[in-house]
Amino acid sequence: MSIEVTDELVEKIAVLSRLDLTREELDGFKEHFEKVLEYVGELQELETDGVDPSLFTSEASNVLRSDEGTPSLPNEVALRPSPDSEPPYFLVPRIIGDAESSEN
């Protein structure tokens, strides 16, 4: 599949990635992205119809355990690495009630 790497595509990827990049970073990525697409393009040569696309190649199968609760990290300990918290919550900027808040 041939892909035209446009500014729009690169900007869309940045939005999906939740990265607020500068124009310079976006242009740098565009150049890198073209090289990566060229590099991985050779995979298309390979005939892979009917090959099982499993995520893991290890022999492990589903692992079950008994459905019993076990102790986990205490709330205040789990919150410790957060930049802003007020047990038992993580604190974030206001996200509800402002109509123009976000397009995503």
Partner 1 sequence: MTKSVFDTRDSIRAGELTATAAAEDALRQVEQVNPQLDAATEILREEALEQAAELDRRLESGEEPGPLAGVPFTVKSNICTLYGRTTAASRIIENHVSPYEATAVRRLREAGAVCVAKTNLDEFGMGSSTENSSIKITKNPWETNHVPGGSSGGAAALCSATRGMLHLGSDTGGSIRQPAAYCGVTGLKPTYGRVSRYGLLAFASSLDQIGPLQHSALECALVLEAMAGVDEMDCTSRNVEVKDYVESASRDISGMRLGIAPELFPEGVDSEVRERVEQAIEVLRGLGAEVKEVSLPNARYANPAYVLVSAAEASSNLARYDGVHFGHRTKEAEDLVALYKSSRAEGFGPEVKRRIMIGAFVLSSGYYDAFYLKALKVRKLIRQDFETALGEVDAVVCPTSPITAFPIGERMDDPMKLYAVDVLTVPANLASLPALSLPCGLSGDGLPIGMQLYGRAMEDDVVLRIANAFQSETEHHLQAPPVNAWGGGGEA
Per-residue CA distances from 22 to 11, 15, 38, 69, 102 (Å)? 10, 12, 24, 46, 19
Q: How far is the CB of 81 from partner 1 (least distance, A)?
A: 5
- Cα 7-98-23 angle, rounded to 5 deg: 20
Residues that bind partner 1 (CB under 8 A): 1, 3, 10, 13-14, 16-21, 25, 28-29, 32-33, 35-36, 39-40, 42-44, 46, 48, 51-60, 63, 65, 73, 77-78, 80-84, 90, 92-95, 98, 101-102, 104
Q: How far is the CB of 74 from partner 1 (least distance, A)?
A: 9
